[in-house]
Every structure is written in structure tokens, then in C-alpha cells.
Amino acid sequence: MKSLKFASPQEIQQETAKLAKRMFTAPRPEVLLGPIILLSIVMGLLHAGANWEAVREGVYIFLAPALLAAVLSAPLARVLGGRHYLRRSFLLVLVSLALATAVLVVWRLIVHFAGDGGLVVPALILVTSSTLWIRLITLYATSQPSMTKSLLVASTQPLFGYIAIWNLYGLNPLNFALCVLFFLIFSSAASLLITSANLPFKHSFGIDGIKMVSFFLDYMTEGGERRAKEIESFFQSFSIPIAAWVGIVAFRTERGVKALVVVPYIHPGPFAKLGGSDLPAKLLEDLGDLSPNLLVPHGPSTHDFNPPTGQECKKIAAEVRHLLKDVEYSDEGSLFVRSRKGLAHTSAQMFGDSLVIVGGMAPNPTDDIDHSTGYAAANEGKAAGAKEAIFIDAHNCMEEGNGLVLFGSQASQDIMESSGDASREAMRSRTKGMRMGIAQEAGFVEERDGLGSMGTQALVVETDGQKVAYLLYDGNNMVPGLREKLLAASREFVDDAEILTSDNHAVNATMGGYNPVGWKTDHDLIVGKTKDALRAALGNLEDVEVGAKMGTIHGFRVFGHQSATRLATVVSSTLSTLRINTFYSLLVAFSLAGIVLLGLKAFG
């Protein structure tokens, strides 16, 4: 059994990335109907032999109860306060029949070699009862985490099966007692498995883990403020307060602030709209009155710096308003310069008396540069002579499960040294006079296809005749190679460009989870929209004054150091132990059922 106890943060991140892949959309009921009918007929043939009577019994004992359960389970679950859907209901019936078929195959093998001893009806009751095990576990996890209510819904298929058996073979005290006994055996086995699956969560976080899984499924299926609050309440329970940094760069004309760049040193996760996810849209809602153009690139941070609630993000907006009041504007800047050290490359440019440093490792994979590395890289800028220095994680080349940059690693050291070189070069290339233009292309790609509501934003800066574009894509990283295509396209319009993503985890609320920019969307479309944004930005270039400022938000709550890792470890460990616990649960259930059948055979 694989253990994640001593896994590295990168390995944990890779395991976490795999979790979403276990989720899928159930096929439509009409697609599942054929396999359900086929399995029922096969079960009838296994039970009664190759004749039309066997087909009839298969339909009566297995198919009819399965279809009744498939149709009635969803509305019954909703009446009891749970969530269940026709797709899931038909899929669950199919899986239940598959398990029952396996049990029936084993029984036929036993009959072939040892004889059935007249246990045809008890064996049918056992096969029918076995469907309760998988139904109870699944409904508890996906419909509602109530054992009693889930049991009522799960019971539909075996109860209809019992009625069919009684109708065909007669109801007597022995058959009734066997139904009750096998029902108790399989429901108890399922209950024990659920309890064991919950133990890691109970021990680490004091919660019902399967209940939380149910909330996540509900949220991903239907959304809703209620489920979001329940999940965020869980995040809040283990969050800790920190002093969170936030940097701003403001471009001003006579009409007011033309564009505002906000760089929070927090992580825009965990996913969907929860916590800090969809951060650009949340900040735009709170700061849209300051400027019509808001850009929110990715600050240096990992999942440890996820805000637990959306409400926490309002503290960022409040700090931005405070910082904007103290910004000192000027028309000074510098040329845009680049530096490379080892695998890392950075760029730097002065805005007023402050530096903006952008770091990354493309074409090598990069997935989150941690806060410590960003802090140290910004200090390199201040050591070079800048009053303020803001570090941005370009976050633009994703390879699944790779690229996490932690302080102390060679990649981290390369980024810091490269930042120092770029900062010193930018300080030597100071200029006076700055023009800026900005444009946005949004709505051409939906979240499920990799881009959030902010779409593509192009901010073009001209200093001393050099035009540079900062291109921000509202998504979670970017597939390898797309950055290079976008740079090549940009250089048709400007001298150089930086390709950035916001790391918006809203795009990860999709089956499969992995959804970087360019994964599902045609690259030519993204390149074309980028060119459109560049043309529009160049079309509104005008003289601006610029100013930058860094601030600190005290008492800002985040997941906390190693909390994301701990959460991922608990989930992965639960999944690992679930395999063996599932085996033991079934082994105990069928062993007890086998003892009952042996007792019947022995005592006639």
C-alpha cells in the first residue's frame, strides 16, 4: 500500500492533481439502459439456465427491481433532503447489478463443484442483498451523509428484489428471516467501511470527510451559496492569520486612474469560486469604481496561502484602496530588461521609483513560486536601489505535477540571482516619459475551456521608444509551447512582451481538474484574440504618470503552512486505505453470508 506520509510537497501536489481525475460525468440514462437490460438477462441465465424461462426470471427478479430503483431513488432522495440525479441513479443500478452478477457467477461455480443443497432461494436473496452494500456507500457519499436517510434510498433495489423473489417462490418465515439477516449484514459492512473512511479526517480535522465530499459534489453539480459556506466554514476551521503582502501599480491620466495592477501575495485557490478562487473577478467587483481596468497577476504563493473564504478577499480590496491614497506618481520609468540564470529567467522594469520583477522558468515547467522566493527576489530589487519592488510569478508553463519552486531549491536560487541581475540593469536604464495603453478581450472562451471572466488583458508600456506588452490570461497556468507562440505573435506589434496568468482556480471546477490555458482551446483563437487586444491597446497609448506601493494586511487568514499538504495527504491516504478496507468489508460480509448458507445446508 502506498504511503504519502513522507512525500515531498511536489509529490503531494501531484497526488492532489490526480484527485479531480477520479471525477466524471455519469452517462445519460438511455445509454445505460442497454447494459442494465443485458446484465439482468445474463443474471437470469446464470440463475436458471439457458432457456426463455431464465430470461423471464432475469427480467422479473433483477431488471424490474433495478429499473424501479433507478427511477424512484432520485425523487425519494430529494424528498428526504438529499441530492440524487437520474444519471447517477441509473449508473448506480448498473454498478450494483455488476456486483450482483459477480456474486452470482461465484455461486454458480460453487454449485457446479459442490452442489447447491437446495439453496436456490437463499442464494437469490444473498445476490439481491449484495446490491445494498454499494448503494449505501455511494448514496452516503454523493446524496447526503445521513446513514438512516441514505439507507432508505439504498434499500429500494434490494426490497423490490425481495418482493419479486417472494412472489415467485413464496413468502415463508425462513425466506423473510434471510432477507432481514442478509440486509443487516451488508448494511453493517457498508457502515463500517464508511466509518473507517472517515477516521483520517476525524483525526486530522475533526470532521466527517465523506460529508465534506458530499458537499463538494453538490457544489460542483449545482453550486449554491449554502454549500459554498459549508465548505468555506471547513477551510476556516483550520486557517491561520498571517501578514499578507499586496502590491499595486497605478497608471494615471488627467481623467483619473487608467489602469490598476494588483499583486496579492496570496494564492487564488483552492478551486471553483471558493476561497480565493476567481480572485480577479472578486477584486473587480470591489474595486471597479477606482478604475475600469484591473489586472491581477499571480503573486508568489502556494496553496498554503489560499484564503479560506471569499469574504477574506475583501481585505485585499480594502488595502488596495488604502495604498492608492498614498501612491506618489511620476512619469519616470526604465527600459524593460531580461536576465537568465540557470533554469530561471526574469524581467524587470521601473515604474516611478519602484521595480516590477517577473519571474518564471519557461520552457521548463513552473507551478507556483513560493512566498519566500518572491520575497527574497523583491529584496534583490530593493538592494539594487528601488524604493519598492513587486515580484510577479509569470506562471505560464505547466506540466502536471511538476514545477513547484520552494525556497532553498536551485530553481529558487536561480530566480533570486536572476532577479538581482535584472533589477540592477533596469536601474541603469532609467528613462523619463511614459505612455500606456490597455485593452481586454473577454468572453471568447468559457471557464470550462480554460479562461475566467477577465479573458485576455493587454497592457502596453512605451518608454524611450521601447514598447513592451504585459499580457495577462485569466487562467490557471498555460500549456507548454503556447507562451512561445504568444511571444512570437506579440513581437509583430511590440518590442517585447511578458506572458502572465492569474492562476484563477475557477477554471479547475471541471471534470478532470487539469485545465491550463490552451488545453481545451484552439491556440490560433487565443493568439488571434491576443493580437486584437494588442492592436486595441496600441490604439489608446497616451501619456501617463505611474506609481507603485507595497502594503501589508495584518490578520489575513490563509490555509496555513503545510495545511494544503496535510489536507491532500489525508485525502490521498484515505483513498489508499480505502482499497484494502473495501476488500475487508466485502470479505466480512460474504464470509458471514457464507456461514449462514453453510448452516442452512448443514441443518437442512
| In a shared domain, residues 276 and 382 | yes
| In a shared domain, residues 263 and 171 | no
Instruction: Please report the pLDDT score of residue 115 as a whole number.
Output: 64
Q: Which residue has the higher pLDDT, 486 or 197?
A: 486
Q: How many CB atoms are located within 10 Å of the residue 524 CB?
A: 10
- Domain presence at residue 204: yes
- Domain presence at residue 589: yes
| In a shared domain, residues 389 and 286 | yes
| In a shared domain, residues 361 and 416 | yes
- Domain presence at residue 142: yes
Q: Which residue has the higher pLDDT, 598 or 390?
A: 390
| In a shared domain, residues 430 and 579 | no
- Domain presence at residue 217: no
**Which residue segment(s) compose the domain that 182 sits in?**
26-210+565-603
Instruction: Judge contact between 300 and 370, C-beta under 8 A.
Output: yes
| In a shared domain, residues 116 and 261 | no
pLDDT tier at 227, thresholds 50, 70, 90: confident
Amino acid at 146: S
Q: What is the pLDDT of residues 286-341, one digit of tens each?
A: 999 999 899 999 999 998 899 999 999 999 999 999 999 999 999 999 999 999 99
Rounded to the nearest 5 degrees, what angle is found at the Cα of 476, between the Cα atoms of 349 and 23?
170
Q: Could you give the percent of the chain with pLDDT greater than 90?
A: 62
| In a shared domain, residues 551 and 569 | no
- Domain presence at residue 220: no
- Positive or negative, the Cα torsion across 148, 149, 151, 152? positive
Helix (H) or strand (E) run with residue 177 in it: helix 173-205
pLDDT tier at 223, thresholds 50, 70, 90: low
Q: What is the pLDDT of residues 362-384, one digit of tens each?
A: 999 888 999 999 999 999 999 99
- Short-list 541, 542, 547, 545, CA closest to 331: 545
| In a shared domain, residues 554 and 574 | no
Instruction: Judge contact between 373 and 418, C-beta under 8 A.
Output: no
Number of domains in the chain: 2
| In a shared domain, residues 320 and 171 | no
| In a shared domain, residues 551 and 588 | no
Q: Three-state DSSP class for 567?
A: helix
- Domain presence at residue 229: no
| In a shared domain, residues 377 and 438 | yes
- Domain presence at residue 294: yes
| In a shared domain, residues 580 and 432 | no
- Domain presence at residue 224: no
